[in-house]
Amino acid sequence: MIPVFFGLEGPALTPREQALFTACKPAGYILFKRNIVDPSQVRALTASLKALARTERVAILIDQEGGRVARLQPPHWPSFPPGQLFGEAYAKAPLTAMAAARANARAIALTLADLGITVDCLPLLDVAAEGMHAVIGDRAFGEDPLLVAALGRATLDGLQAGGVVGVVKHIPGHGRATLDSHLALPVVSAPAEQLEADLAPFARLSDAPMAMTAHIIYTAWDEDRCATLSPFVIAEIIRKRCGFDGLLMSDDLGMQALTHQPGGNSMAGRATGVIAAGCDIALHCSGDYAEMAAIADAMAPISERALARLEAAMAWADTPTGDAQGFAEKRDALLAAAHA
């Protein structure tokens, strides 16, 4: 197995994709609108990916947040609200808003589980800030770190209750970025003291099964490398300061934020750089076959620690909802066994 989540070209596996994936054994896959037609087609696609991996627990990701970011859309699937609406409700009635966020996430999870999708890239724990780029916008719960953490927890609980693994993002926080990292490299120059507020929701939800990094430079921590490619940010801020010991994946390798970072325009270079920096998994979304083949050729097998984190994350949805300690104990046992 190699430490990559790959995208797919279209609504069904092609013969060359099947041959490549059989040979390199990616850690999982991610679906986009180009892969979605209708429920029966999606079920057939996820079944083929699980057959290829020979397990029902293969990571099959999707971005089904609600609002603007929804790969599954009407008429086949319901619309779900963006995070901001829950934040606005929280300001009036916190407990009611948390219950609504939990119920909404469970409904999303049940929709995904019915299709064979196992992981949702949700919730966003990005704390909204003045000047925040619209790429986050109403996807964020709000400006109060405690509000974000509370609604993030409720969302994770709802996903877990529906049998789907959650991913907190974009660690260590996208809210202060004034550029879209899909198109450019954001630089956040706030001092470390101010960044504590951005870290707070991630620290409170450090028991989450998976997290996705931000392609953002935080000059207080690393003036040269974005978080995804910064050994210091990953080891000292994400792992130690936030206390996150779950599966850490990069954001998409194809984003323009990485153009002038280590790896340059080479997808293989970006992928190996992400792993070298400390991410467990590199995320490659485009479905471009040539890029996937190059990445597969360049990647070493997944590490024992990363594999243990992946296995623990995929078992998270089977843990009783709200049993953070139980999940942490299972994850720690798997990690210990990987180093026995």
Show the tokens assigned to 202: 């991630």
Q: Which residues have CB under 8 Å from 311's CB, separation 6+?
A: 334
Tokens coding 29:
């896959």
Q: Which residues contact 330 (CB under 8 A, 6 or more apart)?
A: 312, 315, 319
Residue 179 burial (C-beta neighbours within 10 Å; 0-12, 13-18, 19+): middle
Residue keyed to tokens 């609600």: 66
Phi and psi angles of residue 324, each rounded to the nearest 5 degrees, phi first: -65, -40
332 is catalytic: no
Give yes or no: 180 in active site. Answer: no
Catalytic choice (63, 144, 251, 252): 251
Dist. CA 227–CA 335, nearest whole Å:
24
Asked if 58 contacts 116 with a C-beta cutoff of 8 angstroms, the reply is: no
Q: How far apart are CA 69 and CA 282, in angstroms?
A: 21
CA-wise closest residue to 65 among 109, 119, 123: 123
Q: Which residue has the tokens 């993002």?
A: 169
CA separation for the pair 23, 46 (Å, rounded) = 19
DSSP state of 301: P
Q: How far apart are CA 130 and CA 124, in angstroms?
A: 17
**314: closest CA among 22, 60, 45?**
60
Catalytic residue among 38, 182, 260, 332: 182
Point out the residues that are catalytic. 182, 251
